[in-house]
Amino acid sequence: MNVSSGERILKGAKNWWFVGPGGVARLRARHLTPGGALQPGTERRLRESGLLTTAPVTAYSLTVLTSTDCNLGCGYCFQNTSQDTAGGSRPPRIAHARLTPETVTSILRFTDRQMAAAGLDKLKILLFGGEPLLNPRGCVELLSRAVGHGLASASMISNLTLLTPSLARRLEELRLKSVQVTFDGDRDDHDRIRVRRSHGGTFDTIVRNIARASEVTSIRWTLRVNVSHHTFRGVDALVDRLAAALDPSRCGIYFAQVGDVGIGYANDLTPTGELAAGFARWQRSALDHGFSVSRPRAHLPCATCGYGDGRYGAVANADGTLSSCWETAGKPGWEVGSVAEGYLPGAQTRERWISCADLYRNQQDERALAAFRDAVDAALLDHLDETGRL
């Protein structure tokens, strides 16, 4: 239940839970009105405890696509322009672009201007694609030069099929702290879905590359598990398999529904009680294996795309065009400016400015989806409480 633009009240098995921008609190029924709102005294105590306070933005969040190409042909990718009409693993994609030294210069000059306007002196960079490691030289050059522009840390979203131990070491030297990679269910499901454009599965390659990079770096890994009707039944086995192959203490894991974003990839799963129970079970299993799991949080604006004017972050394509969010990067008609010229006037970008929260807004019933997320989050808080991890 939303009590403001971001705070939530969730019904647990034994308690109510308040999830605010400053953290989580356990509530009893007496803390709520008959209508489910906070009692005035409860709200005052939460405010005094800082749970209603949003932490200030301390770093500028810059996403850079180093390459818009990808060596995989996943049918659900939001950068596809349609499905592969031949039924294979080569769906058409957004236009080719590759980060060059000249564009790096323009991006960093733009970033300096944006950081000065926001009063920020620290920079966080997300290396993105396509597949960012199709342009490793661009990744290295961007990070090495960004050190002189306040770079505090970097992260990367990659399919990891191209990561080598030596490249992992070099990127860590340049302040890469974490990498996110996706699994599409257990090995057999994954290798049918997350395939190379030249054909062939990727599961064992990804796991091997994580393990080898972990031997020579302290990089942390975020394992995103895509959930659809193709993968649902194999997720329990996947969690066990990843725990056996990797060091769970170095890994966070989260589970995400994947569906059609306008390119014809169907997901027949609906946000029902059965699916919520599955998410809760997978999270409990992950925690018991030693993985970290993201805690429920308030619905707050994304620093990169949630403010409508690029105040605290930006998404720069490899060709220097700006988008509001990485879901629209490289897509014709969704540009909101360029790193050379800055953002276009608001009147021109208003209809093009979407945030990550908007992606599935028209794909599912919002009320059902919110109820599903609340049920999953309440179950996780119950488990953390029961096991003393809260």
Cα(225)–Cα(189) distance, integer angstroms: 12
Cα(25)–Cα(16) distance, integer angstroms: 9
Q: What DSSP string describes 119-140?
A: T---EEEEEESS-GGGSHHHHH
pLDDT, greater one: 1 or 203: 203
With a pLDDT cut of 70, the percent of the chain lying above it is 96
Cα(159)–Cα(126) distance, integer angstroms: 14
- Range name among 167-176, 314-323, 364-373 with the lowest pLDDT average: 364-373
Rounded to two decimals, the pTM is 0.95
Mean pLDDT on 277-300: 96
Cα(196)–Cα(89) distance, integer angstroms: 7
Q: In 10 A of CB 120, how many CB atoms?
A: 20
How does 130-158 read in b/e, with b if 16+ C-beta sit within 10 Å? bbbbbbbebbbbbbebbeebbbbebbbbb
Residue 47 pLDDT > 80? yes
Mean pLDDT on 164-186: 98
* Terminal alpha carbon distance of the chain: 21
What per-residue confidence (pLDDT) applies to 362? 47
Half-sphere exposure of 35 toward its Cβ, with a 13 Å CA cutoff? 5
Residue 3 pLDDT > 90? no
| Cα 221 to chain centroid, rounded | 12
Amino acid letter at 17?
W
pLDDT, greater one: 371 or 360: 371
What per-residue confidence (pLDDT) applies to 361? 53
What per-residue confidence (pLDDT) applies to 44? 97
Measuring CA to CA, which residue among 300, 349, 341 is closest to residue 324? 349
Residue 359 pLDDT > 60? no
Q: Is 98 helix (H, G, I), strand (E, B) or coil?
A: strand
- Range name among 210-219, 245-254, 348-357 with the lowest pLDDT average: 348-357
pLDDT band at 281 (very low <50, low <70, confident <90, very high): very high
Please write the tens of the pLDDT for every residue from 220-243. Answer: 999 999 999 999 999 999 999 999
Half-sphere exposure of 13 toward its Cβ, with a 13 Å CA cutoff? 10
